[in-house]
Structure 1
Amino acid sequence: AAIELYAEAFDKAGALDKLEGFASFYGADFYQLPRNTQQITLEKTDWQVPEYYPVTEKEQLTPLKAGEILHWKLQA
């Protein structure tokens, strides 16, 4: 959910137009690496972050913002 959390922060700051550069261009440009040509789509829709993700039969991972509602979702 990292990109969704970035979208939340940029949207809240009124800088959603800066998200693409931050997430896709600035790092590659700084390190003089080729820019990624793949694209993703974020949709403005409410969804609840899972309380946990199972890792093994006995272990689970608790994500940041577990159980909270986010307003941006990465489309599959």
Structure 2
Amino acid sequence: LYAEAFDAAGKLDKLEGFASDFGADFYGLPRNADKITLIKRGWQPPASYPMADGKLVPMRAGETVAWELAA
């Protein structure tokens, strides 16, 4: 969802700092060295995920989300 917002604002170049660096810097914590890759490809979150005590309904279930985490 953050990627969609930053993309709509034309500020994708600012997403990494927002998502990865600024919080750690503010709290004086080390930055995480791990990386992820996002792909701009529409997908739909499932209606729900089974849980031990019921089910979890993800935000925007059944809607198209523009960005996907690469496998």
TM-score interval, normalised by the smaller of the two chains: over 0.9
Q: Name the CA distance, whole Å, in 1 between partners of 2:51 and 2:10.
A: 36
Q: Which structure would you say has the larger RCO, counting Cα contacts within 8 Å and 6 or more residues apart?
A: 1
Alignment TM-score, normalising by the size of structure 2: 0.93
1:66 counterpart SS class: coil
Match in the other structure for 1:61: 56
Gaps of at least 5 residues in structure 1 are none
Alignment TM-score, normalising by the size of structure 1: 0.88
Gaps of at least 5 residues in structure 2 are none
Structure 1 residue 7 displacement after superposition? 0.5
Give the root-mean-square deviation of aligned CA atoms: 1.0
Structure 1 residue 12 displacement after superposition? 1.1
Percent identical among aligned pairs is 62
Poorly superposed stretches of 4+, deviation over 2 Å: none
